[in-house]
Amino acid sequence: MPMKYMLKYLSTRSVYVLIVIAFFACSRRQKEYKSPDNYNLNRPYIIKLPAELDDISGIAYYGKDNSLFAESDQKGCLYKIYLNKPTDIRKWKFGHKRAYEDIVLHDSTFYILNNNGDIISLSFLNDSLIPHEFTFPESGKNEFESLYYDDKLQKLVLLCKDCDADKSATVSTYSFDLQQFIYTRSLTIDVKNVIETNGPISTKFKPASASINPATGELYILSSVNKLLVVADRNGAVKEIYHLDPSIFNQPEGIAFTPSGSLFISNEADETHSASILFYQFKKNG
């Protein structure tokens, strides 16, 4: 083939390839992931966070001034994020460098989960935090990232991320009594259908955060590793499984609700995204 025709062929072919690439890129961007009935997970309101919160993990909603409290992995600080001015954060030091994973606010007391199952309670005295630590009683390999409050049980609940007691298709849970301050083994969640739905890329479901939706009474379980949102009843029976768009949920680590059911999800920073809060307004059906 003469050179001038070869160049023309390559030019035409290159344009065609670019058109195909652009088409599929647009198709990926326009893909609509399935969402729970009361939310559209494809359309978040995104609140970008300062670099101080690049390792944000758990979050808890504070209704008195419409803010979020958070903790950051390894920092040992409690943060307050003002949603109308997210760069103007406040922080209080409560501990040393450890793997802090989730946070619950209940009756003016904060409960911080360490990844080994230890729970640290935090109460304000003037403008300082008074910590008290409760040690997880079981030995062996036990890793946790999820802590939530169940108002029916009136206890905190811990979900295993990777515990010796679990097989590939189960997630063990423990409860923590806020009156007697003791841990007890609780229900086991059967996640066989979660693993099957997620396909061969993962052989185990690894919860990163969880919270009960006050508007529906359902348990929402977030997994950053599996890129999933799982909705279950309070007894741990899985009802729905939602794949998360990785372009939106780059590293989802925390979940919280307002009393009316509006949803917050925190994203840790990565190589291409800053830390953020994703907000979804609760939509009533009908």
Each residue's pLDDT tens digit, 266-275: 999 998 999 9
Each residue's pLDDT tens digit, 151-166: 999 999 999 999 998 9
Which pLDDT does position 19 carry in this prediction?
Answer: 34
Distance CA 269, CA 272 (A): 8
Each residue's pLDDT tens digit, 7-53: 343 344 433 433 333 334 444 446 789 999 999 999 999 999 999 99
Which pLDDT does position 196 carry in this prediction?
Answer: 82
SS3 231: strand
Which pLDDT does position 253 carry in this prediction?
Answer: 96
Each residue's pLDDT tens digit, 64-75: 999 999 999 888
Distance CA 11, CA 281 (A): 48
Which pLDDT does position 24 carry in this prediction?
Answer: 42
Q: Under the phi-then-psi rule, with left for phi > 0, alpha for psi from -120 to 50, and beta for the rest, what region is 117? A: left
- Residues of the chain short of pLDDT 70, as ranges, are 1-30, 199-202, 286
Average pLDDT, the chain: 88
Which pLDDT does position 167 carry in this prediction?
Answer: 83
